Structure 1
Amino acid sequence: MLEARNLTAWLRPGRRGEVLHDVTVRVPEGGCTALVGPSGSGKTVLARCLAGLHERYRGEPLPALRRRTTRQIRGVQYVWQEVRNSFDDRRTVLEQVARTAVRLRGLTTPEADRQARQLWERLGLTSEHRARYAASLSGGELQRVALARALLAEPDVLICDEITTVLDAVSTHLVTAEITRLREQSDTAVLWIGHDLELVERLSDDLVVLNTGTVVESGGSRTVLASPAADTTRLLLRSRHLGTAPTPLTEQSDQ
């Protein structure tokens, strides 16, 4: 459904500004590919590229966002780790969630509102949240609202960038249950970026391990996590047991 091949990306011109080096990643139709790596390894840069800077969508180059068709905007939905700035404080959050289905799917306002409320409840948001504005919601509440907004678009590809970081255990369960429900009921492809390897193993089919902008290991999630070949993967597994966050390292054996 979504693929990037030999992708190199820069944050500024020149070799020193290179953040991703010859990266290939594939998210199959109806599948879930997880992307993991130490802090600063390039995961979010890669996700942004996959959301529209370098790849092709259904065989067609994705143009700049302002020139995209409604189908292309609907097709690839991105849920950020920090979502507060993506909401308009002049409208209630439920109004903004429902408006997604009106604009991108052509639903009537009553039908969009009905579907938004159903999704709202499955994500553990109450009727009290409906009339509130983004500024009055906690980070965890707003993260679930952002996921609801993306899901209501019924995308072909859903990119989730560290979306459980600010969630408690109950909210994380609701979010992952909704992702599982999505995969069971549609062909939506999911790119899951996260640091919780237990969630990664449970949710994903395939795993890509990134370190200093380079893919150091990839394959089936369970296989990679059970028998890691790369130092980075082993470090991530050790960090999970120790409860620490790994930082980028140099991997002589993986070059």
Structure 2
Amino acid sequence: MRKQLLGWAALPILGYAGICAWLFAKQRELIYLPQDTRVDAAQTDFAIERDGVRLRGWVVNPARHEPVIYFGGNAERVENRREQLGRVLPGRSIYLVAYRGYGANEGAPSETALFADALAVFDDVQARHPGEAVSVIGSSLGSGVASYVASRRPVSRLVLVAPFDSLAAVAQAHYRMFPIRWIVKDRFDSAGYLHGYQGPVMVIRAGRDQVIPASSTNRLIGSLGRPPQVIDLPKADHNTIGTDPGFEQALQKFML
């Protein structure tokens, strides 16, 4: 009887350990959601080669100056931002490149790959616009990519939309009963990367964000070496922040 009771008592522990193991094994499938972003390569108009992968995307106003690079959210079709960004920033060239595994791109997404790809995109854009300032916009997951780029390249202006201090902290907030901080491999430590960044930063946050906890964004803001301009959109949530009337106004004013 005692052994049977001990066996029953061990079941919750085994179940918990099993869930932790599943989260560890499946984490990149939970983090990256490219399924709804796929497009045919013929629909893109910009590409660079890196590490055997052709990274494709779109460019708006290629002949203009002071380029802007846009890094999108987790399941975002970045091409859907072309009209908005072209209208809000009509004097700029705007580059929107899907992550590997997203859009028309081959490969599998990971933090290491996305960071290296983003640097390659920045270097390519800088080469196309020699001597010009290059600004970067990152939304949600893209804020983590943009933060890394700003820590490694001369980003002129940085816009972070619905940003976080680290992806590990966000994941822990959503899975409180599991040791996510120890499980997550792709950590996207934006607070660490931006600690020494001294360029102008604008943070745009949604008052009803159901994905990025307010505490995570607040920790990022508090970690910045230079106080950012903070734009609060109290009626927006994580999915509507880019369509809030205040979003375009803030972006246009900051980029002037």
Smaller-chain TM-score range? 0.3 to 0.5
Relative contact order, higher structure (CA 8 A, sep 6+): 1
- The two structures have a TM-score, normalised by structure 1, of 0.32
